[in-house]
Structure 1
Amino acid sequence: MSSEHDRAVLQAIFNPSSPLGDAAAAAAGPAPGAATEELADDDRGFDAAPLAEVKALEARGVAAAEAGDLQAALHHFGRAVLILPQRPSAYNNRAQALRLQGNTAGALADLDLAISLSGGVGRTACQALVQRGLLLRLASRDEDAKADFDKAAALGSEFARQQAVALNPYAALCNRMLTEVIAKLRNPEASV
């Protein structure tokens, strides 16, 4: 029997694109109150042969991106999209490569497609929502980012939950006040 740590390590190996905080959560299953759909089963309804080919192309694309060859990664992800254009995973992966290449508009377009094709449920939707939330946050579109993080948190992403809390203005105010109180308690002479 494997431990939670072992499952988290395997999750990080087999899903290297997920935020680090989500590896343990994905290995342990959905968070309490999370949507009950099977998060790991984004491949229902696809024929086995083309699905296997697309998964192999995506694996090659991830390996190429990790090796720094973004052109090859984009080529592999593009071929995967051509074979199964209704499968959201390749769009999500291609968005990561586009983002690394500096093509934020292209990344956002692919993330929108991944979220739409997934129906906003499942592992790919969760990852795409987190990615899009991060890009929106970088663009100072905090309300839109928070909406994406809230949706991803509902799908079980602990990282998204933390980001949504950080974007809550009341939580930020409370955190700042708490930080000041703790600082005063640690160094009472400085507050005089």
Structure 2
Amino acid sequence: MTTISQECLSDHDRQVLESIFNPSQIGGEELLYNGKEEFPEDLQDLAEPNDPRIRLSKKFELEAIQLTEEGKLPEAINLFNRAIETAPERPAPWNNRAQAYRYIGNEKAALDDIEQALKLSKRSGRTGCRALCQRGVLRRKNKDTDGAREDFEEAAKLGSQFARTQLIELNPYAALCNQMLREVMKLK
């Protein structure tokens, strides 16, 4: 049997193999929360009115996201609270605050916020898609594979690449194929 050395592979070939061997690492979970995930152009949240409350809520939310990225989670949660208090009908700050709660380990509060984001978004648009992914991650972490699969399937239908990679990883046949490929290729 012939083995392939890493030196013979192009960068593209290495990326393809990495996606086969580590499907959950294609972009990783961070895609959910940093706004870099590619969504279909038609996947938009419902248009929000041009209202001073909405603008102020968005301002608080953006500042809170920045604080979250800087690791200033208590301050971020306070600003997410203000964003929600200013315009409680907006689903995005609920979903983003859930992420901050996850970072501090408060899964109960995170799930409560995710459920509110799903309700307000009607499980549609970018926020609904992100909330489904976030709940799927929590369900998977808590060994609720069927619940995670349902969330990822719904998010994948909305266009989430992250959800698709999670579904691949949850597929036992895909995992078996990955293991067999590893053995054949003798790559680590």
- TM-score past 0.5 threshold: yes
Among residues 167, 170, 175, which one is paired with 2:173 in the alignment? 170
1:24–1:80 distance in 2 versus 1, CA, 3 Å:
closer
One-letter amino acid of the structure 2 residue matched with residue 96 of structure 1: Q
Identify unmatched segments of 5+ residues in structure 2: 1-29
Flag the 1:45–1:20 CA change in 2: closer, same or farther, 3 A.
closer
Unpaired segments of 5 or more residues in structure 1?
1-16, 31-37, 187-192
* Pairing of 1:136-151 with structure 2 (within 5 A): 136-151=139-154
Output the CA distance in 2 between the equivalents of 1:110 and 1:21: 18
* 2:171 maps to 1:158: no
Q: 1:96 to 1:22 in 2, by over 3 A?
A: closer
Q: Please state how far the C-alpha of 1:24 moved relative to its aligned partner.
A: 5.7
Selected match of 2:52 from 49, 54, 62: 49
User: TM-score scaled to structure 1, two decimals?
Assistant: 0.74
Match of 2:17 in 1: none
Does residue 78 in structure 1 map to residue 81 in structure 2?
yes
Residue of structure 1 aligned with 2:137, choices 115, 134, 138:
134
Secondary structure of 2:36's aligned partner:
helix
Identity %: 41
Mark the CA change 1:135 to 1:79 in structure 2 (over 3 Å): closer, same or farther.
same
Contact 2:48–2:54 (Cα < 8 Å) also in 1 = no
Q: TM-score, normalised by structure 2?
A: 0.75
Distance in 1 (CA, whole Å) between partners of 2:112 and 2:138 is 12
Could you tell me which residue of structure 1 aligns to residue 43 of structure 2? 39
Measure how far apart 1:69 and its partner are: 1.6
Q: Distance in 2 between matches of 1:80 and 1:24?
A: 23
Structure 2 residue identity aligned to 1:52: R
The alignment yields a C-alpha RMSD, in angstroms, of: 2.2
Q: Structure 1 pair 105/24, CA: closer, same or farther in 2 (3 Å)?
A: closer
Alignment partner of 1:153: what SS? Answer: helix
Which gives a bigger RCO, structure 1 or 2 (Cα 8 Å, sep 6+)? 2
Alpha carbons of structure 1 residues 66 and 20: separation in structure 2 relative to 1, 3 Å: closer
For 1:62, give the aligned amino acid.
I
- Give the drift of 1:140: 1.1
Letter in 2 for 1:25: E
CA contact (8 A) 1:130 1:149 kept: yes
Give how far 1:130 is off. 1.2
1:43 Cα deviation from its structure 2 partner = 4.5
> Is the 1:22–1:157 contact (alpha carbons within 8 Å) kept by the matching residues of 2?
no
Find 1:118's aligned residue among 112, 116, 121.
Answer: 121
Return the alpha-carbon distance in structure 1 between the equivalents of residues 120 and 166 of structure 2: 24
